Amino acid sequence: MKSKIKVSVLGGTGMVGQIYISLLLNHPWFQIVDIAASKKSSGKSFKEVLKNRWKIKTNFPDQINNLVLRDIFDFNSIPNDVQIVFTAAELEDKIKTQELEFKYANHGYSVVSNTSANRWTDDVPMIIPEINSDHLEIIEKQQKKRNFPKNGFVVSKSNCSIQSFLVAIDALNKSGFNVNKINVTTMQALSGGGIKIINDKNYQNNLIPFINGEEEKTENEPLKIFGKVQDNKIIKSKNLSINAFCSRVPIIDGHSAVVQLQFDNKVPKISEILHIWENYKSIPQFLKLPTAPEFPIKYLYEDDRPQTSLDIFNHKGMAVSIGRLKNDKIFDVKFFSLSHNTIRGAAGGAILVAELLYKQNFLKNLWKIKLKLEQVLQ
């Protein structure tokens, strides 16, 4: 690549925004040239706003010290060469967030969103690159329907918690063992709720058996991800039902889940499941995308693994760690899964989506490549 693609980060002062910045600083394809935040922070340097608010364990990014933050609603000050807009800007009003993302698309920017605003917009694909990259074909229809200019579109990524187990289920589905029922209990880290929750004493050394809206997301978002593009929208899968219970636990990073599965007809042996997981690769791996883990699933055989303190950074935080796979007395099988919620589940997952978009020249021939990949996997 002769020159890097210029990108903007919306909501760059928050928890996920900071993760975006840390992951993009030395990215081989992308370069940060713009960071947008609230009107209160706009006009100030990155260092001035964030030097004492940097929450990431990596060193403070001195190379962008002097970058002046832009008001998120100021479209006139966006550098001319910006092509991709990563957004972690969740406004108080969901409709306003949705409108903001569409406004950036209408200005010709490729928006990769980490917010929930457009996940259920029926012509906006909600992408986990290993699972449903074929849904990107709807972008052309989205552009036509909404009169977006060339390269202007919105792509969303899913909720962070479901990424700890959906890839494992996708691997089984693609191997001919179709899952039709999921019962899942999630234990979600504080960082999933942002900096305010991390600093809130009510959440420290405490377990709270409720997260507003999370159970609805966990039960419904996979249905869109496993759905199909039909006409000008994405239709939810009718072959899967999910029951979820979600809780907030007093750890900083790492969403985990206890997952029980029931299969449609053919039930795999434990040895077959392990073989599938340990050999599973998908489009990001075959395309050698920079952020893609070599193997999306890492199985750990120890009885007390995976653990948040030991395993969330497997493959730089982009792999899903799984353990304790067993036969189940009520369902067919059960297992424990873990993923890094702000890397795989948020900024890293969104960057992986952007890499896929770039590698495919924004959708051209994507479904042909998927077909070839499926032939390879067979």
User: What type of residue sits at position 92?
Assistant: E
DSSP secondary structure code for residue 208 in this structure: B
Based on the residue annotation, tell me whether 255 is a catalytic residue of this protein: yes
CA distances from residue 373 to 5, 49, 76, 366, 370 in whole angstroms, order as listed: 27, 46, 42, 11, 5
Cα–Cα distance, 169 to 302 (Å, whole number): 21
Residues 6+ apart with CB under 8 A from 345: 159, 160, 161, 163, 164, 192, 255, 339
| Residues 163 and 319: beta-carbon distance below 8 Å | no
Residue with tokens 């991800």: 225
CA distances from residue 257 to 123, 184, 254, 296, 338 in whole angstroms, order as listed: 30, 7, 10, 17, 7
Question: Residue 19: in which H helix or E strand, if any?
Answer: helix 15-24
**27, 107, 135, 255: which is the annotated catalytic residue?**
255
Based on the residue annotation, tell me whether 340 is a catalytic residue of this protein: no
**160, 246, 315, 340: which is the annotated catalytic residue?**
160
Q: Which residues are catalytic, by number?
A: 160, 255
